[in-house]
Amino acid sequence: MTPRRGGGTPTFTEQARRRQIIESTIDQIATKGYPATSLAAIAEAAGISKAAVLYHFSSKDNLARATFQYVVERFSAYVTERTEKQPDPRAALIAYVRALIGYQQANRSHVRVITEMLLDDDGGTRLKAPGGHDTGGRWNALAALLTEGQQSGHFRDFDTQFVSLAIGGAIDGVIAHWLAHPELDLDAAADELETFTLLAVERR
């Protein structure tokens, strides 16, 4: 939970107001992009004053970080929930791939926030991920799933880091194309990604 300004735990009303501001920020970034999103526009969309936004977050950078964390936490929780309940590593891997696609398909504006926050106009990092997470290691959870599958005998021997990067890159490529071309059949793409993933890791 984000501490309130001046210390202490935010009240229920303050938490609700922060969620409202963050949701408005998500909409603005998804529509206009991060550089063109102003605190004034966020405040107007939320139906409050700019001073009220600054009361809760003190700056655009702080609001951007809170928004990024809000999106990433929900994305991660969605994927984790669907992965952890699976009976074996193979099923967990399929659920992981499906959950990554499914969440992004259902939350297109969240995908925009993540890409806007992580990449600047030159392809570099705009914003360091909150909570100490290394954006360069974003496929570590996938590598851990692959390692578990190897240890249980479900998957063949391979370098889990390399393969997790290959699978993750394929997912990123499909999502990037879908963002630019919304007519892409993302369900069919998810089917192919599942097949691609299993062919990459299973014993032959």
Position 1 pLDDT exceeds 70: no
The average pLDDT across 27-33 equals: 93
pLDDT of the residue at 104: 95
pLDDT of the residue at 7: 55
Q: Are 54 and 39 in contact (CB under 8 A)?
A: yes
| End-to-end CA separation in angstroms for the chain | 47
Sequence-ordered list of residues with C-beta below 8 angstroms from that of 52, at least 6 positions apart, any chain: 17, 43
Q: Please name each of the domains of the chain with its CATH number.
A: 1-58 (1.10.10.60), 73-201 (1.10.357.10)
pTM over 0.85: no
Q: Are 1 and 9 in contact (CB under 8 A)?
A: yes
Produce one character per residue of 77-107: b if its CB has 16 or more CB atoms within 10 Å, e if not: ebbeebbeeeeebbebbbbbbbbbbbbbeeb
The average pLDDT across 38-49 equals: 96
pLDDT of the residue at 134: 43
> ∠ at Cα 147 (146, 150), nearest 5°?
90
Position 183 pLDDT exceeds 90: yes
CA 41 to chain centre: 24
Over pLDDT 90: what percentage of the chain?
Answer: 77
Burial of 123 per CB tally in 10 Å (0-12, 13-18, 19+): exposed
Alpha helices for the chain (secondary structure H): 12-32, 39-46, 50-57, 60-84, 89-106, 108-118, 140-151, 160-180, 186-201
Q: Which residue has the higher pLDDT, 201 or 115?
A: 201
Position 199 pLDDT exceeds 80: yes
Q: Three-state SS for 202?
A: strand
- Both tokens of 34, joined, read 């991060």
Quick one: pLDDT band at residue 116, thresholds 50, 70, 90? confident
